[in-house]
Structure 1
Amino acid sequence: MESTLSSTTRSFDRLHHDAQARQQAQELADRLCAKATVSAPTAPASVPTADHAAPSWHPEVLRHDQGWSAKVDLRDITHENVESLRVLNAVIFPVRYNDKFYTDVAEMGGQYVKAAYHRGHMIGAVCCRREPAENGLTYSLYVMTLGVMSVYRRLGIGSLLIEYVLRNARMDPACTGIRLHVQTSNEEAQRFYHRLGFDTITVVRNYYFRLTPPDAFLLELTFPRDPVGVPDTEPGS
């Protein structure tokens, strides 16, 4: 199995440069994952296609299944395993992220960047970046990527990843909320995030360059916080 993984990983590195290569990479990934488990049902391998500077990617909304999630190991993404994330993203997403993206992710720590492993192999990941507020004291989160390999979808892994981020965000008093974009036609994803407490804030026209429709909803979940950075005043002052 390890030799098969190594061979497939090298193949991924050569195959992720164009649309035809991505399709071949997905087929390789499906065969690899089929050998790794017999319990994961195969889901359609198609994902939305788009071209944008820094979109949120949500290929498929996942059903929460605690029995399956219990078999998934969540690990930090570091310089030691960031190349596995590069392979994963090449298979899942229709865009290629640059080297700086992976360098930054590897240095973010495990609070808002996490990978899901099954039987020692990375099968999904969530990557969020901090966006500092103007006051310099608080920040919000933006979901850059959230994805799971096709054969492991609808098993609760995506829910497990985003819920991990939400728990950590709520525990940090400096975090005021979390944002992401969802294509306006993706009603299932919208319902999924609304159930988690997200609100639809606005529509962003022409957010996607090569999708129909090209528009996206900006979704946001805010956390009630006490005012930060406001000086105390004496009564009657």
Structure 2
Amino acid sequence: MVNPKVSRHPTICYRPIRPSDLMILQQLHADAFPIRYESEFFQNVVNARDIVSWGAVDRSRPNGHSDELIGFVTARIVQANESEIGDLLSYDSAKSDQTLVYILTLGVVDTYRNLGIASSLISEVIKYASNIPTCRALYLHVISYNIPAIHLYKKMSFKCVRRLHGFYLINGQHYDSYLFVYYINGGRSPCSPLELVTVAVSYMRRGLNSVAARLRKNEEKWPKWAKCKESRRLVGTQGRRNLTAECTGCECV
């Protein structure tokens, strides 16, 4: 696929992916990913069979290309209790209707990158998932060397919760994957042992600071004294500055 030229002020719009997008969708995936997807996957996307999708188009493109995809995102609804992030989600396991949205693929044509299109596509998925009362989170995988994608997900408040070693096998070589989660509709991460320790330490620190503050307040109510070894007499602290200068053999306590 030849990258289209971008007008100075492109008019980007978003719509569901349709059967007429099949060929361009296959080409965009081939250009964007080292992994090859089965034809069944694309058929499921364009026919909305168990997969939801959004496409980005540039309405300002001439010569009949104004409805041609220049970006895409695909996702699937999964059951929370059957997902790989069940241990990373605090939810009522007794409710079997709890769901998640798994983002499958995301891509933008090279010449249209850095225009906020990927962020907008992800926002479409977040809006969709947020309108599902039973949905508690979105999640996705990203290959470890895809730094721009990692920065994008962090910028959009996704949490990197796990590194999966050797998750991808590409041309006979294994690559790690990062697992990102975005919590919605009251979904949250369960408290880890480290989080519990952090909270306990925080409470203890606040308690100690409170005790120290009270002790300092009580000390201020009583006169303080300086003890001079040479004279063996007590001197009020009001004269402490002069005492230091005048009595060179004194130890002040």
Calculate the TM-score normalised by the size of structure 1.
Answer: 0.62
Retained in 1: the 8 A contact 2:73–2:121? yes
Over aligned residues, Cα RMSD in angstroms? Answer: 2.6
Q: In the alignment, which of 69, 72, 75 is matched to residue 122 of structure 1?
A: 69
- Equivalenced residues, count: 166
Identity of aligned pairs, percent?
27
Contact 1:77 1:110 in 2 (8 A): no
Distance 1:176 1:145 in 2: 20
Note the C-alpha offset of 1:208. 2.1
Does residue 94 (structure 1) correspond to residue 49 (structure 2)? The answer is no
In the alignment, which of 208, 230, 233 is matched to residue 168 of structure 2?
208
Residue identity opposite 1:223 in structure 2: I
Bigger RCO of structures 1 and 2 (CA < 8 A, at least 6 apart): 1
1:23-102 to 2 correspondence within 5 Å?
Answer: 25=1, 29-30=2-3, 33-34=4-5, 37-39=6-8, 71-102=11-42
Q: 2:106 aligns with which of 146, 151, 158?
A: 146
Higher Cα radius of gyration: 2
After alignment, is 103-112 or 90-99 more displaced? 103-112
Does structure 1 conserve the Cα–Cα contact (< 8 Å) formed by 2:164 and 2:179? yes
Contact residue 164 and residue 177 of structure 2 kept, 8 A: yes
The answer to whether the 8 Å contact 1:139/1:175 transfers is yes
Following the alignment from structure 1 to structure 2, what is the Cα–Cα distance between the partners of residues 103 and 153? Answer: 26
CA distance in 1 between counterparts of 2:148 and 2:30 reads: 24
Residue 117 of structure 1 and its aligned partner are, at CA, apart by: 0.8
Distance in structure 2 (CA, Å) of the matches to 1:121 and 1:94: 23
Indicate conservation of the 8 Å contact 1:78/1:109, yes or no: no
**Shift in Å, 1:92:** 2.2
1:213 Cα deviation from its structure 2 partner? 7.7
Q: Per-residue CA shift, 1:148-203, capped at 9, x if unaligned?
A: 11111111111111111111211221211111112334444333212222111111
Q: Residue 157 of structure 2 corresponds to which residue in structure 1?
A: 197
Give the unaligned 5+ runs of structure 2.
59-65, 82-94, 188-253
CA contact (8 A) 1:130 1:141 kept: yes
- Is 1:105 aligned with 2:42? no
Conservation of the 8 A alpha-carbon contact between 2:56 and 2:117: yes
Shift in CA distance, 110/149, structure 1 to aligned 2, threshold 3 Å: farther
Residues 150-165 of structure 1 correspond to what in structure 2 (within 5 A)? 150-165=110-125
**Aligned equivalents of 2:71, 2:28: Cα separation in 1:** 7
**Structure 2 CA distance for partners of 1:223 and 1:38, relative to 1, 3 Å:** closer
Structure 1 stretches lacking a partner, 5+ long: 1-24, 40-66, 227-237
